Amino acid sequence: MRVTIFGATGLLGKALIPEWTQDEVIGLGSKDVDIREVALIRSAVERTCPDWIVNAAAYTDVDGCESNRELAFAVNHRGAVNVAEVAKAFGSRLLFLSTDYVFDGLATAPYETDHPRAPRSVYGKSKAQAEEEIGKRFPDACIVRTSWLFGVGGKCFPDTILKLAASRSEIDVVDDQRGSPTHAPDLAHAIISLCRAGARGIVHATNSGDCTWFEFAREIVKGAGLNTIIRSTTSDKFVRPAERPKYSVLSPRSLREYAITMPHWKAALGNYLAARHATPPVGYATQKHPS
């Protein structure tokens, strides 16, 4: 099987390339192909002749999307549809990465794949519109929603917490937002399995279990053997340009239909900490949301 990955230099893309060992895989970053340009996508697909296209390319700065709405929709909506159109024209299957931000965060039980979309941020709206158009025009596409992505080799919540803990004795973290942390290598394994299974439709893929950001931070510091105190606080103390979902746990039912399971987020965190210890982290910049 031949696979072309758009967004290969992102957090997920960096995990997909080394994990996808039994197929012919070509990874393309934003410097290789700007998905806003159909001609560039077409040229890349003509050159690589993929059976599957995985589109992990996105403008993921959630707060940045609020002040750059045009760019957010150009990349996350129009760009995603561009990739889908080229995939269909060349007879390639498509897997598109989406996000928990397509929901309003008001639920009290895990979101199923057919729950109505109700995004509350520009980022979520751009992804939701891409989902809707791809789902209607390309019913054979597979749309994979994930959440709280973390991993070695990019900006993510554990990396931020560990760097703050290195210089602070106490850190305040919100305790009123709940979701499922997802380790990039675990998501990569799920994506590979979905492609090999010929998956279609919407699938939710996260590590199992759920927690608040406060609970996640506490486990990060504990796992790293640090003494930094993690204090709980509320979202109203950390006002951000983009509204974050209060609850964005995704149901694993759709993933299990393909006989795929993902480890608990605490086990995934242990693997991340071990990998991070073996690979010195890169410099820190403003955190960006996954997918």
Domain range summary for the chain, segments of one domain joined by +: 2-150+182-209+247-265
Amino acid at 251: S
pLDDT of residue 272: 98
Q: Which of 101, 111, 123, 247 is catalytic?
A: 123
101 is catalytic: no
Q: What is the mean pLDDT of the chain?
A: 94
Please give the average per-residue pLDDT across 54-75, as a whole number: 97
Position 184 pLDDT exceeds 60? yes
List the CATH code of the domain at 2-150+182-209+247-265.
3.40.50.720
pLDDT of residue 17: 95
pLDDT of residue 277: 87
Position 289 pLDDT exceeds 60? no
Position 178 pLDDT exceeds 80? yes
Position 281 pLDDT exceeds 60? no
Q: How far is CA 224 from CA 33, 45, 162, 172, 215, in A?
A: 38, 43, 8, 18, 14
User: Comparing 102-116, 231-245, 251-265, which segment has the lowest mean pLDDT?
Assistant: 231-245
pLDDT of residue 280: 54
Of the chain, the percentage scoring pLDDT greater than 90 comes to 93
pLDDT of residue 214: 98
CB 249 within 8 A of CB 208: no
Please give the average per-residue pLDDT across 45-55, as a whole number: 98
pLDDT of residue 153: 85
> Which residues have C-beta within 8 Å of that of residue 20, sequence separation ≥ 6?
3, 188, 192
CB 144 within 8 A of CB 96: yes
Position 211 pLDDT exceeds 80? yes
pLDDT of residue 279: 73
> Which residues have C-beta within 8 Å of that of residue 88, sequence separation ≥ 6?
94, 137, 138
pLDDT of residue 282: 46
